[in-house]
């Protein structure tokens, strides 16, 4: 039995997703697939398997975004890492997982999700990190999300070192409830959970420090709390997804139902 407060999960119980759309899928078709199938299916097919929070963002189509930066990012918290792995025993999760193939480049792990490890001062490409160790509830908190390209003037090692320096400062000095980051060779994705309640004035944030360090293409997002009004078998045309859409999906968890 977990000794955590209900609603809070460990900072490493999250899959950090970076997705690249299939080259023959036009960006409008990509938005359509995400809004009519993929994003709502993530919740509807997996909530009964222990999905704890889901925060997808769509950088695809933003002006100037390099192709080397993911077209969609997401963090998917589960009740635990074991809950995630056990999900594949369920038909609903297996079915949902296979829907990726019609949307994303999956060969050679171009699009991928990984669990994070605790940040200890350095970064490895495609290995997510979490900066804080406390359990948190990312569905009901205020999330900021930042996506950036590697500046052309920096090689990969210098890029990672620059990010690591900023993450170290955030970890030491910024009072956040949670923070996640993942650097690829050519991009950074970063999420933070602030203690401020929705609608309150700006809480503590590390995003400006990252913006100062990464001066080529970047974009900051504020995932909008979003309820799905439907079930699997209701008549519903889907969500409106466009360039820059960012959602923090709100749903009743299996553990709360």
Partner 1 sequence: MTADEVARPPSYPVPPDSVYVWRGFRSAATSYAQFAQFLGSVFVPACALLQPAVGLRAYLPTMVPQDGKPDAVPDQTALMFWATPGAHDLAARAIAVRIYQGLHGDAYDMARSHTPEVPVSIASANGALVAEQPYHLLDQPADWMLGSTHHLVGSRRPDLAPDAFLAQVYGWAAAFRAEPPGGVDGALLVCGEGYAAAWVHSPLAGAEPCAAVDPLAALTVPVLYAAARVLELQAGLWNDWPGLDLTADACLNIQLVRPGSAAPIPIGQA
Positions touching partner 1 (CB under 8 A) are 33, 36-37, 40-41, 44-45, 48-49, 86, 89-92, 94-96, 98-99, 101-102, 229-238
Q: How many CB atoms lie within 10 A of CB 17?
A: 25
CB of 80 to partner 1, least distance (A): 16
Give the tokens for residue 168: 């170290």
For residues 3 and 240, which CB has a smaller minimum distance to partner 1 in the complex?
240
Q: State which residue, 19 or 116, has the beta carbon closest to partner 1.
A: 19
Question: Would strands 247-250 and 224-227 be described as parallel, antiparallel, or unpaired?
Answer: parallel
Q: How far is the CB of 39 from partner 1 (least distance, A)?
A: 10
Give whichever of 3 and 235 is closer to partner 1, judged by the CB atom: 235
Q: Judged by CB, which is closer to partner 1: 62, or 105?
A: 105
C-beta of 41: minimal distance to partner 1 in Å? 5
Instruction: Output the smallest distance, CB 62 to partner 1, in A.
Output: 25
For partner 1, the closer of residues 227 and 233 by Cβ is 233
Long-range contacts of 85-92 (CB under 8 A, 24+ apart): 86/49, 86/50, 87/46, 87/49, 87/50, 90/49, 92/45, 92/46, 92/48, 92/49
Question: Alpha-carbon distance 190 to 179, whole Å?
Answer: 7
How many Å from the N-terminal Cα to the C-terminal Cα in the chain?
A: 18
CB of 64 to partner 1, least distance (A): 31
| Residue 229 tokens, joined | 């009004």
Q: Which is nearer to partner 1, 37 or 220 (CB)?
A: 37
Exposed/middle/buried for 124, CB within 10 Å: 0-12, 13-18, 19+?
Answer: exposed
Q: How far apart are CB 156 and partner 1 at their closest, in Å?
A: 33
For residue 66, what are the β-bridge partners?
none
């Amino acid at each position: 039995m977990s000794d955590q407060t209900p609603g809070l999960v460990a900072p490493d119980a999250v899959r950090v997703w970076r997705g690249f759309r299939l080259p023959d899928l036009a960006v409008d078709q990509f938005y359509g697939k995400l809004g009519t199938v993929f994003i709502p299916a993530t919740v509807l097919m997996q909530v009964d398997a222990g999905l704890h929070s889901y925060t997808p963002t769509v950088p695809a189509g933003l002006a100037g975004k390099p192709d080397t930066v993911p077209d969609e990012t997401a963090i998917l918290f589960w009740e635990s890492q074991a809950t995630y792995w056990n999900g594949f025993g369920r038909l609903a999760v297996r079915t949902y997982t296979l829907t990726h193939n019609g949307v994303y480049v999956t060969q050679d792990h171009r699009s991928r999700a990984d669990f994070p490890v605790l940040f200890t001062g350095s970064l490895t490409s495609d290995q997510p990190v979490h900066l804080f160790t406390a359990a948190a509830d990312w569905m009901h908190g205020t999330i900021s999300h930042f996506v950036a390209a590697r500046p052309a003037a920096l090689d990969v090692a210098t890029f990672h070192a620059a990010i690591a320096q900023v993450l170290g400062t955030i970890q030491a000095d910024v009072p956040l409830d949670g923070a996640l980051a993942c650097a690829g060779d050519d991009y950074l994705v970063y999420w933070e959970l602030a203690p401020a309640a929705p609608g309150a004035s700006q809480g503590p944030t590390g995003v400006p420090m990252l913006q100062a360090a990464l001066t080529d293409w970047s974009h900051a997002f504020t995932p909008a709390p979003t309820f799905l009004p439907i079930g699997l078998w209701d008549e519903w045309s889907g969500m409106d997804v466009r360039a820059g859409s960012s959602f923090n999906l709100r749903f009743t968890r299996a553990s709360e139902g």
